[in-house]
Amino acid sequence: MTLTALITGATSGIGLATARTFARNGIDLVLCGRRQERLDALAAELGALVRVHTLNFDVRDADDTAAKIASLPESFRQIDILVNNAGNAYGLMPIQEGEIADWDAMIDINVKGLLYVSKAVIPQMVERKRGHIINIGSLAGQEVYPNGNVYCASKFAVDALTKGMRIDLNQHNIKVTSINPGMVETEFSVVRFKGDTERAKNVYRGMTPLTAEDVADVIWFAASRPAHVNVAEVLLLPTAQANSTIVKREG
Ligand code: NDP
Ligand code: 8X3
């Protein structure tokens, strides 16, 4: 039986790599994001391997998120795997200097957006007593680091929601997984530093970060276990990273 996955944040980084990995493994795809030209390009690329449908919505918009997911054609409506990946950090400032717009973005996208998408997808999983939700958390949701304050809070919330979902959905036979990466070089730091690519590059100076493909491999491992096995949580670090603040750098 062919499975269908809905991936948020499929236009870049971890979500994009996950879409490609899933397609190579024969998973039909509902790809979500706000940058339509990227969704179109990805649909053209992966459409050669599997069935692909794209949805353009901002996860901050509860009504549009619900409407777009409800608009899925019949053949894409049964979501077997939900990858809640859309998310970003905005800024890296001491709490007393933080900007309200950045705080709102992180809470609205990383926490509330994940909830809105989940609310739109979970009912059909509950009805079928089958499904797998994979939330992309972070090392930042396991330990707080200097200036990480609100981003860390948003990822601690994802960790709590993952655990809560696992409890509440247990009786419905739904697997819930969190994949918690450390440093991954994607557009993440460019977004965090609002387009300052030099500052973004400096985050990974003298060390080898994870690639989006490294994370996608682990997401696929979790998604492809037998029915009785749930990979509950994974902390995935680059070898050079011991924790949020200890990173071995060369030069
Ligand atoms: P990218 O910036 O490369 O990708 C972020 C994705 O999220 C994009 O596809 C973007 O799509 C989507 N997105 C952002 N905001 C919204 C929104 N409001 N509505 C819909 N989609 C949105 O970063 P990563 O791939 O690194 O990040 C993916 C996840 O991994 C995030 O949850 C992040 O917190 C987490 N993570 C990242 C780590 C890292 O070091 N890179 C480490 C640990 C966790 P579009 O702009 O088209 O909407
Ligand atoms: C992203 C990893 O360490 O920049 O979640 O917070 S970190």
Which whole number is the average pLDDT over 197-226? 98
For residues 162 and 141, give the distance between their C-alpha atoms in angstroms, rounded to a whole number.
Answer: 11
CA distances, 73 to each of 63, 64, 145, 167 (Å): 18, 16, 43, 31
Within-domain flag for 245: no
CA distances, 190 to each of 35, 68, 153 (Å): 16, 28, 20
Residue from 36, 61, 88 to probe ligand 1 pocket by mutation (most atoms less than 8 Å from CB): 88
Closest-lying ligand to the alpha carbon of 147?
2
Within-domain flag for 190: yes
For residues 59 and 127, give the distance between their C-alpha atoms in angstroms, rounded to a whole number.
Answer: 24
Residue from 12, 14, 139, 191 to probe ligand 2 pocket by mutation (most atoms less than 8 Å from CB): 139
Within-domain flag for 243: no
* Residue 186 Cα: closest atom of ligand 1: 3
Query: Could you report the per-residue pLDDT of 61-120, keeping only the tens digit for each?
Result: 999 999 999 999 999 999 999 999 999 999 999 999 999 999 999 999 999 999 999 999
Within-domain flag for 242: no
Query: Could you report the per-residue pLDDT of 121-139, keeping only the tens digit for each?
Result: 999 999 999 999 999 999 9
Flag whether the pTM goes above 0.75.
yes
Within-domain flag for 248: no
Beta-carbon count within 10 A of 66 CB: 15
For residues 246 and 251, give the distance between their C-alpha atoms in angstroms, rounded to a whole number.
Answer: 16
Within-domain flag for 84: yes
| CA of residue 109 to ligand 1 center, whole Å | 9
Structural domain harbouring 60: 4-236
List CB contacts of 173: < 8 A, sequence separation 6 or more: 129, 130
Which whole number is the average pLDDT over 44-71? 98
Q: Percent of the chain having pLDDT more than 70?
A: 100
For residues 151 and 109, give the distance between their C-alpha atoms in angstroms, rounded to a whole number.
Answer: 11
Closest to 174 in 3D by CA, of 133, 134, 136: 133
Question: Count of domains in the chain?
Answer: 1
**Contact yes or no for 18/93 (Cβ under 8 A):** no
Q: Assign residue 228 the CATH number of its domain.
A: 3.40.50.720
Within-domain flag for 159: yes
User: Coil, helix or strand for 47?
Assistant: coil
List CB contacts of 108: < 8 A, sequence separation 6 or more: 60
Q: How confident is the model at residue 50 (pLDDT cuts 50, 70, 90)?
A: very high
Within-domain flag for 247: no
